[in-house]
A and B are shown apart, each in its own frame.
Chain A
Amino acid sequence: MIETRGLTRRFGERTVVDDVSFDVPAGMLTGFVGGNGAGKTTTMRMIMGLLGVSAGEVLWQGRPMTAADRRRFGYMPEERGLYPKQKILDQLIYLGELSGLSTPRARASATESLERFGLADRSGDRVEKLSLGNQQRVQIIAALLNQPQALILDEPFSGLDPTAVDSMVDLLREETGRGVPVLFSSHQLDLVERLCDRLVVLRAGEVVAQGGVEELRARGPERLRVVTDRDAGWVRDIAGVHVLDVDGAEALVELADKDERASDAVRRAILTAGLDRGEVRELATVRTPLSEIYREVTA
């Protein structure tokens, strides 16, 4: 498990990352979200030891993380970090060797990954000849070459088409299956929602929310959708309900009280009132989209 404790980074007078503490548990995909300039990249660079920390620390398996630990991590920088003019296989072997693999092992590992991504026939091409998506694939191969014990990926999905996203997801799932903690940043919230086991939300250098996606969702008020056979405007008269939207026979409401007994009572009140006026075709809990949660916590 990776833990950051009170991680802080100042550039001169400016505090870019402020007292950031979060966990990246083993075997879980942890999504790292936040607007531009929220401090995601700076935090990841501090975790990877590329930037010094102004205060705080990074722990690996409960003790301060060392350079030797980081050498066994897979890291993908924000922009594609490869030599554009070097041949793909040569480049992967070089990076594997720098990670401490022997040349034959680096070659075997790189060849295998290239085959897996359908890039085996391009292994003699220069990186700049590849499409953006394929360059991204080579990058993830580079990060996985030495069977990393943790993965830190800065925007791994940017620029990928849906198929490439899927194969990347499969790959990351495989890694978490091995018990590897994975931290990845992204601004594609729908993707993060679909993928992650956990979420860390950063705003202006501070962690504003973290936890499981369901956990975060549960924090907000419950939402209900009511569908009747006539105008649903009557929902406005029910106590304990905050009406978000009424559109003809359909209404979207938010329960004011999070208490379970109270919300059950409100649910019953809606149903009774609806049946008094006609039919109630649907009364369902609406899953709050992550983007909404994100907007709320970063507002």
Chain B
Amino acid sequence: MNHPDASDTTETRPAERPWLLVARREVVTRLTDKSFLIGTLITLVLLVGFIGWTIWSEDRTERVTIAATAEDATTAQLLQREIPEVDDGLEVELVEVASDDDGVAALEDEDADVLLRPADDGWTLVGRKEVSGDLTAAAESIIRDATLTANAERAGTSLAELRQGSTVDTALLAGDAERQDFARAMGFLLAFLFYFAALGFGYTLSGSVVEEKANRIVEIITTKIPVRQLLIGKIAGNTLLALAQTALIVAVGLVGISFTEYSSFLSGVSAGIGWFAAFFLVGFLFIACWWAVAGALASRAEDLQTTAAPLSFVMMGVFFGAFLFEGTIQTVASYVPPFSIVLMPIRVLEGDTAVAEPIIAIAILIAAMAATVVLAERIYRRALLQTQGRVTLRQAWSAAD
């Protein structure tokens, strides 16, 4: 402005970087919102609980009490000795019963978990309502080996000779199976986290846009700062929150995993997690623009379900794409925004990408995001002051300023 102001009464200057003020308000509002804090806390508690349970059940040994009559004591003792060797999660205690009927009574009184009963062609494990699958498997292999050893001796041969050439093992060219499974599970978890954050924070963002519209405060704000600054501030604030919440969840999860038997796999997925963070950041900015537009197209909170529905479907598509896309479709989709946001990091996690692939995909995503900001700003600006009911994308796009 070149003209001196005749009635200049105060020395206010335009706010510097007003988007920062807007972003700060978004963050502070959310951080002082009890339901948000409680929600985050519950998520963390569930996560810690789940990991804790995993660790506990890994170390836990189950005590099984087997009832047997004196006649069957030899087999029962064999089981007691051998079962912990076969399955280190099981420990066996023996209870001697006078008869089969007493054994059944012991089961009913819960003095024993299982009754060992001779059958025509071997043994039966009798339980009350169920017999543990682990116990059955262990008992089966022990008794089979013992019987085979006895039968082999009787036939003048040995168990080792009988077994010769019968083993089946697996081998993989790349990595090992367990590590692959871990990477896969990790990928799905991260895809889920993105879905969770994109939907949760997306709805919050569009909700706060509608709130400003419905209460007309947007009219006051946009006389003070440019609409673009308002849009950037809202997107920046919500992206920061989404990143921080997700980072917190991932950090707690990773620390938890480091206490489990999977800790050795962590170094193998760190590159994938790093890429996930990069894609999440750009991807969330990309999607947040559209959530802001969905908010601007509504006039009241009730309209939001309609204007945000297409976006929810896209998010769901991205989420299921992470599970369902395979082969060529997965490779192609891992370059196409918004699918690339989760598919490319998943491919990196699974270790089947060349170095350049995630770089190209994120470049495409950044380009899409930049284009989106420009488009979204135009729609956002034009829809923002139309407070009579829902605005269609076409109306907002073609409306005069």
Contact = CB atoms under 8 A, between A and B. Distances in A.
Interface of A: 26, 45, 48-52, 54, 61, 63, 66-73, 75-84, 86, 94-95, 97-101, 142-143, 146-147, 149, 178-180
A49 B1 CA distance: 16
B215 A52 contact: no
B7 interface: yes
A142 B223 CA distance: 13
B12 A81 contact: no
Given A51-B385, A61-B5, A83-B211, A147 B10 contact: yes
B223 A84 contact: no
B223 A80 contact: no
B14 interface: yes
Contacts of B1: 66, 68-69
B3 interface: yes
B144 interface: no
**Among the interface residues A69, A79, A143, which one has the most CB atoms of the partner chain B within 10 A?**
A79
A48 B29 contact: no
Interface residues of B, number: 34
Given A52-B401, A98-B225, A77 B220 contact: yes
A81 B21 CA distance: 18
Most-contacted residue by chain A among B12, B15, B385 (CB, 10 A): B12
B178 interface: no
A234 to B, nearest CB: 58
Contacts of B9: 147, 149, 178
A249 B360 CA distance: 97
Given A97-B21, A149-B9, 15 more contacts: A50-B223, A51-B401, A52-B400, A52-B401, A54-B400, A68-B1, A69-B1, A79-B216, A80-B215, A81-B215, A86-B29, A94-B21, A100-B13, A146-B12, A149-B7
Contacts of A179: 7
Nearest to B20: A97
16 contacts: A45-B385, A50-B223, A52-B400, A54-B400, A71-B224, A71-B225, A77-B219, A79-B216, A81-B219, A84-B215, A97-B15, A97-B21, A98-B15, A98-B225, A147-B12, A149-B8
A77 B226 CA distance: 17
A94 B9 CA distance: 21
B124 to A, nearest CB: 67
Interface in B210-249: 211-212, 215-226
- Which among B6, B29, B220 has the highest number of chain A CB atoms within 10 Å? B220
Nearest to A66: B1
B400 A142 contact: no
B19 to A, nearest CB: 11
Contact of B215 (A63, A82, A94): A82
Contact of B223 (A75, A83, A147): A75
B211 A98 contact: no
A36 B226 CA distance: 30
Contacts of A146: 10, 12
Contacts of A70: 223
Which of B21, B215, B224 is most buried by chain A, counting CB atoms within 10 A of its CB?
Answer: B224
Contacts of A61: 3, 5-7
B128 interface: no
The residue among A68, A86, A100 with the most chain B CB atoms within 10 A of its own CB is: A100
A98 B219 contact: no
Contacts of B225: 71, 98
B22 to A, nearest CB: 8
B397 to A, nearest CB: 15
A94 B12 contact: no
Contacts of A72: 5, 12
A50 B3 CA distance: 23
A150 to B, nearest CB: 8
Contacts of B12: 71-72, 99-101, 146-147
A77 B212 CA distance: 12
B25 interface: yes
Interface in B5-49: 5-10, 12-15, 18, 21-22, 25, 29
Contact of B14 (A94, A100, A180): A100
Contact of A73 (B8, B10, B219, B223): B223
